[in-house]
């Protein structure tokens, strides 16, 4: 998810090949019948993960029944054609990331690190298309292996090698080399977080353990709070994803999914500003419909919801209109659906 101003025989049927609990230093990745229940806690500034509220956020996430939390350290490049990305004052520091990972583990949560590359002056990261691909991928490999090393050192249970980089993700040769470099450093399960309109064009799924999709599929042509109507919207998407999973012989993880608490959120789940009208009921209906549509499907590995509370004074969308389910009916949906799940 691009932040507005900064832009956010099948051994599987379907287990995850290539990783074991001894490889990853923690529990195995999701296997058939197990769904990853996660929530994303992003960082917009260098010190966010050191915020005094961090511990409370993690406890609140665990109280929903979530068993995973995703962290999103972000580097920036100036233009879509640049060859270099860098940490800035909006990038979570390595030390703060180490501390929040430890806090999450202490709270009983498993962790995924999903590094992002965004545009310093705003825009969509999917538009990044470097003028010099060799130079960009050299820089990107250094960026992502940096986090692979940190993930290894801190016992992170899963790592994403990239997020919504549609302008580069069809370059299978370069990405295969990047993934090999990551595997040389990090032995846990790997995914890539493809946008919902990108995942079918990725040539390197065979090199990863899970197909990752940021699942912002539009579900309705008009606002609705009816979960049954939204489940109907999911039906053709579910069929398409099931067939894709079977072809790739990989399970599918929703590396992101979410809805703002605004009227019309299910018509454009990817939008931070669908409307100015608060609608927590439509958000909750979106949560309910997704969890119902995918419940019990062996090829589905679970969901990491976007996102928990924004940090104080850094949110661009008022909390009552934002993606967070915290303190809204959507949080109760999670608690009802996840509280007794194994």
Alpha-carbon separation of residue 23 from 186, 212, 258, 291 (angstroms): 9, 20, 31, 30
Residue 313 confidence (pLDDT): 55
Residue 22 confidence (pLDDT): 30
Question: How many domains does the structure of the chain reveal?
Answer: 1
The verdict on residue 16 lying in a domain is: no
Q: How far apart are the first and last CA of the chain?
A: 28
Contact between 143 and 82 under an 8 Å Cβ cutoff? The reply is no
Which secondary-structure segment (H or E) carries 214?
strand 210-214
Residue 317 confidence (pLDDT): 84
Residue 150 confidence (pLDDT): 98
Residue 51 confidence (pLDDT): 92
What CATH number does residue 205 fall under? 3.20.20.80
The verdict on residue 234 lying in a domain is: yes
Q: What is the mean pLDDT of each run of 10 residues along the chain (342 residues)?
A: 44 33 37 81 94 94 98 98 97 98 98 98 95 98 98 98 98 98 98 98 98 98 96 98 98 98 98 96 98 97 93 72 96 93 66
Residue 185 confidence (pLDDT): 97
The verdict on residue 10 lying in a domain is: no
Contact between 205 and 246 under an 8 Å Cβ cutoff? The reply is no
The verdict on residue 5 lying in a domain is: no
Residue 14 confidence (pLDDT): 32
Domain span including residue 247:
24-338
Contact between 317 and 260 under an 8 Å Cβ cutoff? The reply is yes
Residue 278 confidence (pLDDT): 98
Token pair in block for residue 247 = 């072809």
Angle at CA of residue 217, ends 189 and 58, nearest 5°: 50
Q: How far apart are alpha carbons 95 and 234 in whole angstroms?
A: 41
pTM of the model: 0.91
Token pair in block for residue 29 = 């990745």
């Amino acid at each position: 998810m691009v932040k507005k101003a900064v832009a956010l025989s099948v051994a599987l049927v379907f287990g995850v090949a290539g990783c074991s609990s001894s490889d990853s230093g923690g529990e195995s990745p999701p296997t058939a019948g197990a769904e990853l229940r996660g929530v994303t806690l992003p960082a917009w500034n260098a010190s966010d993960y050191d915020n005094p509220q961090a511990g409370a956020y993690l406890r609140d996430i665990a109280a929903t029944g979530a068993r995973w939390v995703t962290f999103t350290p972000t580097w920036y490049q100036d233009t879509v054609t640049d060859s270099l990305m860098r940490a800035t004052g909006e990038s979570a520091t390595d030390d703060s990331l180490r501390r929040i990972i430890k806090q999450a583990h202490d709270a009983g949560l498993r962790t995924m690190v999903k590094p992002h590359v965004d545009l310093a002056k705003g825009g969509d990261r999917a538009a990044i298309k470097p003028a010099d691909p060799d130079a960009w991928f050299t820089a990107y490999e250094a960026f992502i292996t940096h986090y692979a090393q940190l993930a290894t050192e801190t016992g992170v249970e899963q790592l994403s090698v990239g997020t919504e980089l549609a302008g580069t993700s069809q370059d299978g040769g370069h990405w295969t080399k990047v993934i090999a470099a990551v595997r040389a450093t990090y032995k846990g399960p790997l995914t890539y977080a493809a946008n919902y309109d990108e995942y079918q064009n990725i040539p390197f799924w065979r090199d990863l353990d899970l197909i990752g999709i940021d699942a912002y599929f539009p579900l309705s042509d008009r606002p609705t709070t009816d979960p049954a109507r939204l489940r109907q919207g999911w039906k053709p998407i579910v069929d398409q994803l099931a067939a894709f999973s079977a072809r790739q012989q990989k399970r599918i993880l929703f590396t992101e999914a979410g809805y703002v608490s605004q009227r019309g959120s299910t018509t454009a789940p990817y939008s931070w500003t669908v409307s100015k009208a608060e609608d927590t009921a439509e958000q909750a209906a979106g949560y309910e419909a997704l969890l119902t549509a995918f419940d019990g499907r062996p090829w589905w590995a679970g969901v990491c919801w976007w996102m928990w509370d924004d940090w104080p004074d850094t949110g661009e969308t008022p909390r009552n209109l934002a993606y967070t389910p915290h303190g809204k009916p959507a949080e109760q949906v999670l608690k009802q659906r996840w509280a007794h799940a194994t």
